[in-house]
Amino acid sequence: MPATLPLDLERYPIDDLDGERTRALIADCRSQLERTGLCLLPGFLGPDAVARSVAELEPRVEGAFRKERAIVAMNESEIDSSLPLDDPVRTAHRHSMRTIAYDLIDEGSPIRALYEWEGMTGFLSEVLGYRVYRCADPLIALMISAMLPGGEQGWHFDDNEFVVSLLLQRPVVGGEFEYAPMIRSEQDPANDRIRDVFQGVGDDVRVAPLEPGTLALFRGTRSLHRVSPVVEGPTRLIALLSFDRHPGMVFPAKAQLNNTGRTTHG
Ligand SMILES: O=C(O)CCC(=O)C(=O)O
Ligand SMILES: [Fe+2]
């Protein structure tokens, strides 16, 4: 483990994948994922490493790329074409945040050291049950999403099989990660329940108890989710770590541009 990455290996002994306590940890992560699509490891990154990351990143937020869009929660191909065009299920939701790209994060940063540590890919592969690799994308393999008051990420499903995140700083009011566990499936597009979520009724929505330092592994293809609007700072800062089943994965130009305003595809 790199010196800049002081993980609490007593609490999370992920450098010893065959150890008894690690096997129990992995089994617990798998069962969390199966039940809710979300696995939380609080205190994964210790308070000092979190504080150092925040001190480095916070001054960069003001000048960071502004990502602003309004998008429908699911892909076009997933929308039931018999739904009227003005059905709430087809509402576009606002996404408004700043992003700090991978190449703008210091090499000595704890969050970068965590992402680049082989122990991390080894542990995730065990939890997921298949080998994963870090993405090779120079801009968005690792990315910081920053939300000032007024920032939010509207209701959506993910395209990626899973997302790994690490919250670094949370606002006093708002900026909660809200999700409707396993709301849809291959057999059931769940339009009625999704409509209820958008209209603030029903009982599908939960708030994830994310604290600074919590590692979250989330399967967002079946679980509708959002980050609620930030009402009162400090800035919500969260690192998004991308992994893939294949080594060398680079995102298409469109994804790089949407997230950073830049592309490495020429
Ligand atoms: O910022 C978060 O907690 C959620 C991020 C998210 O849902 C995504 O990147 O797809
Ligand atoms: Fe998402």
Summarised one tens digit per residue, pLDDT across range 182-221 is: 999 999 999 999 999 999 999 999 999 999 999 999 999 9
DSSP 235: P
CA–centroid distance, residue 246 to ligand 1 (Å)? 22
Minimum CA distance residue for ligand 1 atom 7: 226
Counting from 1 in the atom list of ligand 1, the atom nearest the Cα of 240 is: 9
Query: pTM here?
Result: 0.97
CA–centroid distance, residue 95 to ligand 1 (Å)? 10
For residue 12, what are its two tokens? Answer: 């999370």
Nearest Cα to 215, choosing from 85, 44, 90?
Answer: 44
Q: What pLDDT is stored for residue 239 in this prediction?
A: 98
CA-CA distance, 218 to 126, in Å (whole number)?
Answer: 15
- List pLDDT tens digits, range 219-250: 999 999 999 999 999 999 999 999 999 999 99
- The tally of CA atoms less than 13 A away on the side-chain side of residue 137 is 27
Nearest-10 crossing angle of helices 118-128, 20-36: 60
Q: What pLDDT is stored for residue 167 in this prediction?
A: 98
State which of 153, 168, 243 you would mutate to test the pocket of ligand 1, scoring each by most atoms of that ligand within 8 A of its C-beta.
153
Q: Is the pLDDT of residue 47 over 90?
A: yes
Q: Which residues contact 161 (CB under 8 A, 6 or more apart)?
A: 219, 221, 245
CA–centroid distance, residue 266 to ligand 1 (Å)? 27
| Ramachandran bin of 43, using left for φ above 0, alpha for ψ from -120 to 50, beta for the remaining angles | left
Q: What pLDDT is stored for residue 2 in this prediction?
A: 85
Please give the average per-residue pLDDT across 93-120, as a whole number: 97
Q: Is the pLDDT of residue 45 over 90?
A: yes
In CATH, 39-104+133-260 is 2.60.120.620: yes
Q: Which residues contact 110 (CB under 8 A, 6 or more apart)?
A: 4, 5, 6, 45, 49, 50, 52, 53
Q: What pLDDT is stored for residue 5 in this prediction?
A: 82
Compute the Cα dihedral for 183, 67, 208, 16 and give only its sign. Answer: positive
